[in-house]
Structure 1
Amino acid sequence: MRNFLAVPLALGLAACATVPTHTATAPVPESPVTVRLVGINDFHGNLEPIKRPLELEDGQGGKQTVYAGGAAWFADAVAKTRAQNEYSMAVSAGDMISASPLVSSLFLDEPTIGVMNRIGIDFNAVGNHEFDRGWRELKRLQAGGCEKYTLRQPCAVENPYKGANFPFLAANVTMPDGDTLFPAYGIKRFGSGARAVAVGVIGLTLKGTPSIVDPSGVKGLTFGDEADAINKAVGALTGQGVDAIVVAIHQGLVPEPGANFTGCGAISGDLKPILERLDPRVSIVLSGHTHRSYVCDFATVDPSRRFLVTQAGYGGTEITDIALNIDPATDTVVSVKAKNIPVQSVSPAAGDSRPADPAFTSYTPDPAIAAYVAKYAAAASAATNRPVGKLSGAALKQGVDNALGDLIADAQLAATREAGAQIALMNPGGIRADLRPAPDGTVTFGDIYAVQPFGNTLVTMTYTGQQLLDLLEQQYGDSSENKVFSVSHGFAMTLDPAKPVGQRVVRATLDGKPIDPAAYYRVTMNSFLSTGGDGFTLFKQGTEPTVGPLDVDAMEAWLQLPGGDVRSLPKGGRVTVIGS
């Protein structure tokens, strides 16, 4: 296989009506075979439209507001994009499931797989969230069946659950016997005779997955180097006569501070060093994990690696429309064109009063998928709509010292007081959505479940003061990511990220008194953290563990004040970061 990519023009999030697509600069054969590729990432079980309007970049330095997402609209966007050419495929770059809204996660994300079966996804690379419930449950989700591996009962709506019609891919995840957990790659072939072409797809997750999922769920698995796994698979695919190679990797780019990030400008992030090592025979890289929107021509960074790198936001609010133009006579990719398309989900004809943005295509909800989602929404409605209390205002997760994190920590402390808890710590990665009550302050179970959808239990353990201080230092173990805890009432800390590692906790107090390194403290955290999740390995040093309620149940209990009184938002001031 000879894989030559013409250098295309980079652009960011593109509205079909306003932004030009990539144009090839190399000569194109008279009649190339075009394979239309739809790239998706980080769907996270968002079967229903995102309720709030989204500000999406228009690819020309500006932003436009659009209501987007929802499986039924997503299906129409995918179908219309694929219909542009006779040959097409759809590939996911991971986190299709988990960290999901209640309508999907309540049913172990079985309905999300059902939706993707109906849409016709061809391949799904595993992301880190695919492992949230452990690799055995992930295997069940792919293969089907009703064997129970979690606290929730599978097959609650569809019995039996039949599994995914598409393969999961995991090129860098190996079992103890050396076999990959799922295949490293797959091939899809199109046409026949002289015009036959084949596209190989390599799928994998980030090497750091074990540090951001429950370690017990990935015990026995090895997560290898991403570039090594990709390059090994490229060699295998080349030997099988593919004409183009697609990489779907659950790792992404981020902009450097202050950068206008619509293409490759000022790119940073953990994906960049991986890209710098990739076999140049790769045609395009579909990325995920960072929930960004971009189309980056990596040849502008490294002329020897002439592939595009794309990502399409989060939650089914966008897709990436990609044209792979292949000369079958020479087995050559002559050009790749790509743009990101918002999945606008307003339906004026159905009485939707939300405004449509004319700059973006309006999609029509697929009736069969809408009915399928409605079946699960009805099954979840009693739990979703049940009031659990009232809140004085919106609790947002933005910033280090935020009201929502403090509220969660307070709830967890209150729920574990009987276990002797004095301090509760909450990791920012475990907070998945803002908590916005109704105008009268009412908060529903669906609201709090969206905030904490993982089903973690609370664990209270004993630590020396020195162990606690050392644990707090791990908040800056990886300076590229915010891992600063939210903390419960009575505890406070001052942090200075500019100081050397090991000296960044300037001060930590409980009820105004400095933490005594020689004293003992009872600390509550979620079960994910208790086993060393998110890189907080020192949590495992705790002794005398007491397992408490589910995190979401603790939140519900905290909101249920006598007489229906309104719970006030925490006032903040518990965490101080010097220089921020």
Structure 2
Amino acid sequence: MKIRPSAALALLPLPFVAACGTTSGLRQAPAGAAAARVEVGIIALNDFHGALEPPRAAVVAPGPGGEAIPVPAGGAAWLASAVDSVKARHPNHVVVAAGDLTSASQLASSLYLDEPAVGVMNRIGLEFNAVGNHEFDRGWKELQRLQSGGCEKNTRLEPCQLEPFKGAGYQYLSATTYRADGSTLFPATGLKSFGTGREKVTIGFVGLSLRSVPTLVSPNQLAGLTFGDEAQAINRAIPALKAQGADAVVVLIHQGGKTTAEDPNSCEGLTGDIRPILDQLDPGVDLVVSGHTHWQYVCDYAHGGGSILLTSAGVYGKLVTDITLTIDPATHTVVGKKAQNVIVQSQPYTSGRGDAPNTAAYPQFQPRPDVASYVAKYVGAAKDLINRPVGRLSGVAAKPSSEDASGGVLGNLVADAQLAASKGAGARIAFTNPFGLRAPIDPAADGTVTFGQVYATQPFNNELVTMTLTGAQVRAVIEEGLNDAGSLQALSPSAGFRFTYDMRRPAGSRVVSLTLDGQPLAPAATYRVTVVNFLAEGGDGFATFRQGVDPVRGMIDSEALQQWLAAAPVRQVPQEERAVRLDR
């Protein structure tokens, strides 16, 4: 699909992009006949995170008897086949995404600056993508290179290592990301049309990043950018898209929610930051494709006497959302809408976290050959590094699946590694943020852990920073993870440090006890504390870390974990509970 600029409306400061595609097979109605209703299939993805290979993860879904079963899912070549199968059901279709297609990626994608993740999306036929927070991880100039192509070096890694990079064939959209002059970094909106004459219909898209991107990305990567209110940007876009002929308005937003159900097509118990955004929207939005929370749901969200269809396809390409909008071209309105999350069932796997065999309860896709061959080129180039042993571990190190946002034994292991690596800087405590741990470490039968596994857990290449904080500041920074301003995140501490907390208490006073080596932390005493530079810069809302003094920079976080694993014949997984929640 070719995307061309369209004239911006004189009274609106947002730039717009239009794209037109005509579908054959639509007939123009005879003179005097009512125009037939037109169905458009919207095929939606989110949070792919460069998952080129099957991520050895499952979608929990209802089984034949209603029981919950794990369905092995994901992998770019299988995702391509699933998208093709949904396209085949919709003569009129468009493929869209809600952000975080790149970064926090598998090593075979990350080593090559996620050029292969973009290449996969090009082959799948993606047309529009809302910019997520992780797409800024390497800086906005590198993100512009992903859009436009070329081999300009913006990071410590070399671009175009295996082949020339032509850039994304799809359009990044972000109505909330502003330059200093007020223009948006990428276009705010896009259009796609289907059919001709009286049966022509047009879909308008507005894409958005999170307003909270500055709390999720290192500040130096966002220099010169500001991020605005999501609902306000959508409400500005609605009349502008309508003026350009949009019969339906679709929001692609990198924000989302979570449900209490395991069924990927349920909306039971929906909570999250997407809700207040939806509640502020003006009439006119028909569909919201969301992401960010790595959750899956299909919701009929009540709004203004009507409803908004809300969807999310989880994470890592394990699901794709099949959405149908039925449009009346005579009245320029959506008269029907429905959606279903399709599980991208791929290869079965066995792991220390449990087995996930294939099931006949859901379709099993076959890898699309061209995408499989393309992925194999990058995986093959990275194979020796991915498979290099770095140490042995006594068992699986994973985060809990509960909603307490604890780092679990994986957080313990990583914090211990960071403490050991920063002893020379005087560190007595280390903390890691559970949201920064991207994958469990599931060793081989003999305990072997590979570099690829370590990198999958810590793919951001953050540096360790050791600083001095008072005991009162340590308490304050833990409280920041437990407040009501964002998602709950109980920092994972290193061995010897323990805290208890109670979420029934008021925000700011939820920490009940703090001890180091069995002794209460003294508020006025000082302690050397190690975190990654993302946290040291106030990332994830931990602003108190910015008050640390006498900072000393250390090694890369993943290198610290490798050294820790290698320093023992078999590193024991630290099982003790260090961040203890009292209200459960």
The TM-score, its normalising length taken from structure 2, stands at: 0.88
**Offset of residue 156 of structure 1:** 1.8
Report what 2:583 is aligned to.
579
Task: Judge conservation of contact 1:457–1:548 (CA < 8 Å) in 2.
Answer: yes
Pick from 370, 373, 380: which aligns with 2:375?
A: 373
Q: 3-state SS of the aligned residue for 2:390?
A: strand
Structure 2: distance between partners of 1:291 and 1:389: 30
Equivalent residue runs for 1:131-210 within 5 Å: 131-158=136-163, 160-210=164-214
Task: Judge conservation of contact 2:99–2:254 (CA < 8 Å) in 1.
Answer: yes
Pick from 187, 206, 231: which aligns with 2:235?
A: 231
Report what 1:294 is aligned to.
297
Pick from 275, 279, 283: which aligns with 2:278?
A: 275
Pick from 248, 251, 255: which aligns with 1:251?
A: 255
Please tell me the residue identity of whatever aligns with 1:215: P
Q: Deviations over 1:346-369 (max 9, x none)?
A: 499xxxx98432221222211111
In structure 2, the CA distance between the partners of 1:578 and 1:85, relative to structure 1 (3 Å rule), is closer
In structure 2, the CA distance between the partners of 1:140 and 1:464, relative to structure 1 (3 Å rule), is same
In structure 2, the CA distance between the partners of 1:161 and 1:265, relative to structure 1 (3 Å rule), is same
The TM-score, its normalising length taken from structure 1, stands at: 0.89
- Residues 1:472 and 2:478 aligned together: yes
- Residues 1:493 and 2:505 aligned together: no
Of stretches 99-108 and 235-244 in structure 1, the one that deviates more from structure 2 is: 99-108
Report what 2:391 is aligned to.
389
- Residues 1:285 and 2:294 aligned together: no
Please tell me the residue identity of whatever aligns with 1:520: T
Report what 2:309 is aligned to.
308
Report what 2:512 is aligned to.
506
Equivalent residue runs for 1:67-106 within 5 Å: 67-106=72-111
Structure 2: distance between partners of 1:77 and 1:577: 41
Task: Judge conservation of contact 2:47–2:317 (CA < 8 Å) in 1.
Answer: yes
Please tell me the residue identity of whatever aligns with 1:265: E
Task: Judge conservation of contact 2:258–2:296 (CA < 8 Å) in 1.
Answer: no
Q: 3-state SS of the aligned residue for 1:206?
A: coil
Structure 1: distance between partners of 2:69 and 2:512: 43
Please tell me the residue identity of whatever aligns with 2:288: V
In structure 2, the CA distance between the partners of 1:404 and 1:264, relative to structure 1 (3 Å rule), is closer
Q: 3-state SS of the aligned residue for 1:333?
A: strand
Pick from 412, 423, 428: which aligns with 2:429?
A: 423
Of stretches 370-379 and 273-282 in structure 1, the one that deviates more from structure 2 is: 273-282
Structure 2: distance between partners of 1:252 and 1:542: 33
**Offset of residue 319 of structure 1:** 0.7
Pick from 391, 410, 413: which aligns with 2:416?
A: 410
Task: Judge conservation of contact 2:175–2:207 (CA < 8 Å) in 1.
Answer: yes
Report what 2:15 is aligned to.
none
Please tell me the residue identity of whatever aligns with 1:366: R
Report what 1:341 is aligned to.
342
Please tell me the residue identity of whatever aligns with 1:283: D
Structure 2: distance between partners of 1:51 and 1:515: 41
Q: Deviations over 1:82-103 (max 9, x none)?
A: 1223221000011111111111
Structure 2: distance between partners of 1:284 and 1:60: 32
Q: Deviations over 1:129-183 (max 9, x none)?
A: 112222222112111222222232222222x322101110001111111011111
Q: 3-state SS of the aligned residue for 1:566?
A: coil
Structure 2: distance between partners of 1:325 and 1:526: 49
Q: 3-state SS of the aligned residue for 1:306?
A: strand
Please tell me the residue identity of whatever aligns with 1:139: Q
Task: Judge conservation of contact 2:71–2:359 (CA < 8 Å) in 1.
Answer: yes
**Offset of residue 230 of structure 1:** 0.6
Higher relative contact order (CA 8 A, sep 6+): 1
Structure 2: distance between partners of 1:41 and 1:76: 17
- Residues 1:364 and 2:369 aligned together: no
Unaligned runs of 5+ in 1: 1-28
Q: 3-state SS of the aligned residue for 2:508?
A: coil
Q: 3-state SS of the aligned residue for 2:52?
A: coil
Equivalent residue runs for 1:481-560 within 5 Å: 481-560=487-566
Report what 1:8 is aligned to.
none
In structure 2, the CA distance between the partners of 1:84 and 1:261, relative to structure 1 (3 Å rule), is closer
- Residues 1:222 and 2:243 aligned together: no
Q: Deviations over 1:12-42 (max 9, x none)?
A: xxxxxxxxxxxxxxxxx87322221101111
Q: 3-state SS of the aligned residue for 1:124?
A: strand
Task: Judge conservation of contact 2:501–2:581 (CA < 8 Å) in 1.
Answer: yes
Report what 2:439 is aligned to.
433
Report what 1:3 is aligned to.
none
Equivalent residue runs for 1:5-154 within 5 Å: 31-57=36-62, 62-154=67-159
Task: Judge conservation of contact 2:398–2:440 (CA < 8 Å) in 1.
Answer: yes
Structure 2: distance between partners of 1:477 and 1:231: 30
Q: 3-state SS of the aligned residue for 1:67?
A: strand
Q: 3-state SS of the aligned residue for 1:255?
A: coil
Q: 3-state SS of the aligned residue for 1:555?
A: helix
Task: Judge conservation of contact 1:347–1:364 (CA < 8 Å) in 2.
Answer: no
**Offset of residue 189 of structure 1:** 1.6
Task: Judge conservation of contact 1:346–1:363 (CA < 8 Å) in 2.
Answer: no
Please tell me the residue identity of whatever aligns with 2:422: T
Report what 1:20 is aligned to.
none
Q: Deviations over 1:517-559 (max 9, x none)?
A: 2222111100110100000011111111111111000000000
Task: Judge conservation of contact 1:134–1:218 (CA < 8 Å) in 2.
Answer: yes
Task: Judge conservation of contact 1:318–1:340 (CA < 8 Å) in 2.
Answer: yes
**Offset of residue 406 of structure 1:** 0.7
Please tell me the residue identity of whatever aligns with 1:175: R
Q: Deviations over 1:251-303 (max 9, x none)?
A: 112236x89885443322111111112222112111111222221112xx335
Structure 2: distance between partners of 1:241 and 1:571: 59
**Offset of residue 325 of structure 1:** 1.7
Structure 2: distance between partners of 1:84 and 1:260: 23
Of stretches 497-506 and 444-453 in structure 1, the one that deviates more from structure 2 is: 497-506
**Offset of residue 115 of structure 1:** 0.6
Please tell me the residue identity of whatever aligns with 2:187: P
**Offset of residue 106 of structure 1:** 1.7
Pick from 265, 268, 283: which aligns with 2:268?
A: 265
Structure 2: distance between partners of 1:79 and 1:401: 37
Please tell me the residue identity of whatever aligns with 2:237: A
Task: Judge conservation of contact 2:72–2:348 (CA < 8 Å) in 1.
Answer: no
Q: Deviations over 1:398-454 (max 9, x none)?
A: 163621111100100111111111110111101111111000000000111111111
Structure 1: distance between partners of 2:483 and 2:239: 36
Structure 1: distance between partners of 2:187 and 2:300: 28
Task: Judge conservation of contact 1:463–1:523 (CA < 8 Å) in 2.
Answer: yes
Of stretches 174-183 and 393-402 in structure 1, the one that deviates more from structure 2 is: 393-402
In structure 2, the CA distance between the partners of 1:51 and 1:255, relative to structure 1 (3 Å rule), is closer
In structure 2, the CA distance between the partners of 1:59 and 1:77, relative to structure 1 (3 Å rule), is same
Report what 1:22 is aligned to.
none
RMSD value over aligned CA atoms? 2.2
Unaligned runs of 5+ in 2: 1-33, 350-354
Structure 1: distance between partners of 2:389 and 2:37: 58
Of stretches 448-457 and 272-281 in structure 1, the one that deviates more from structure 2 is: 272-281
Report what 2:12 is aligned to.
none
Please tell me the residue identity of whatever aligns with 1:439: A
Task: Judge conservation of contact 1:126–1:168 (CA < 8 Å) in 2.
Answer: yes
Q: 3-state SS of the aligned residue for 1:189?
A: strand
Structure 2: distance between partners of 1:321 and 1:393: 39
Q: 3-state SS of the aligned residue for 1:545?
A: strand
